[in-house]
Amino acid sequence: MALAAAGASGRSLRWPRVLLFGDSITEYSFQENGWGAYLADRLVRKCDVVNRGISGYNTRWAKLILPRLITESTSAESIVAVTIFFGANDSALKDLNPKQHVPLEEYAANLKSMIQYLKSVDVTEDRIILITPPPLQESAWEKACLAKGDKLNRCNATTGQYAQACVQVAKDCGTDVLDLWTLMQKNQDFSSYLSDGLHLSPKGSSFLAAQLWSRLENKVSALPSLLPYWRDVDHTNPEASLL
């Protein structure tokens, strides 16, 4: 009873949230050495990092489920940042992977639709970060496809077109953008950033985490550490410090 009474008298503790929305590259980001796990560790006393990556999804499907993830302004209030990280599946070649393929113009329109929805529930554009698909290492991905009995169903040049469209959407809508496709190929062999030609290796995940943190840091820098440092708790009267 005493515990219930104390809980009733204290203010509810609500952690702000960083929402990671994307495909398998986001879903896998909480694995060991993953980029999402890195962010969660950096922000552990400031906010929750919520993984909403859904393997295999494209923007056509993502725009339908986003309103179910963030339902109204009351649930959006606590969101300090949202990453939207799609394109690796949208850019699949239509003839060889029609289920995941989304035409380039529709991909751009879908991204804009998701940004407009977020703004409608008071997640402003300065809290939205678009991430382009990473480059595709075709020979490695072809091996992965052949192992499943499939043909090479993506190509890097096409992925680059989707990355450019993502960057343009960010410019049009006033959001931040991380152009992973360009950055990973800048003056270097990018194959070590990928585990199978498509998904990120630990090195690629570390690269993304560092790039993303530089864009995320200013959005979370003002957040206080939740609950006082243990040395600052008044041990003779903990209620004064903790409630």
Mean pLDDT of 155-184: 97
231 or 75: which carries more pLDDT confidence?
231
The identity of residue 128, as a single letter, is I
Q: Which residues are catalytic?
A: 24, 196, 199
Compute CA distances 67 → 48, 71, 132, 222, whole Å: 20, 5, 22, 27
Cα–Cα distance for residue pair 124/196, rounded to 1 Å: 35
Q: Give the tens place of pLDDT for each residue, 50-67.
A: 999 999 999 999 999 999
Rounded-to-integer distance, Cα 96 and Cα 186, Å: 29
Q: Which residue has the higher pLDDT, 14 or 206?
A: 206
pLDDT given for residue 243 in this prediction: 81
How far is CA 113 from each of CA 100, 145, 185, rounded to the nearest angstrom? 19, 32, 29
For residue 8, the model assigns a pLDDT of 44
Encode 172-209: b = buried (16+ Cβ within 10 Å), e = exposed: ebebbbbbbbebbeeeeebeebbbebbbbeeebbbbbb
Please report the domains of the chain, with CATH numbers, ordered by start residue: 17-220 (3.40.50.1110)
What percent of the chain has pLDDT above 70?
95
d(CA 31, CA 29): 5
Give the pLDDT mean for 133-145.
Answer: 90
Q: Is the pLDDT of residue 9 over 60?
A: no
Please check the confidence at residue 30 and state whether its pLDDT lies above 60: yes
The pLDDT, as a whole number, for residue 73 is 64
Going by pLDDT thresholds of 50, 70 and 90, the confidence category of residue 6 is very low
Look at residue 2 and tell me whether its pLDDT is greater than 80: no
pLDDT > 80? residue 156: yes
Confidence band of 7 (pLDDT split at 50, 70, 90)? very low
Please indicate, yes or no, whether the overall pTM of this predicted structure exceeds 0.85.
yes
Q: Is the pLDDT of residue 70 over 50?
A: yes
* 180-204 tens-digit pLDDT: 999 999 978 899 999 998 999 999 9
- C-alpha span between 86 and 135 (Å, rounded): 13
Residue 166 has a pLDDT of: 98
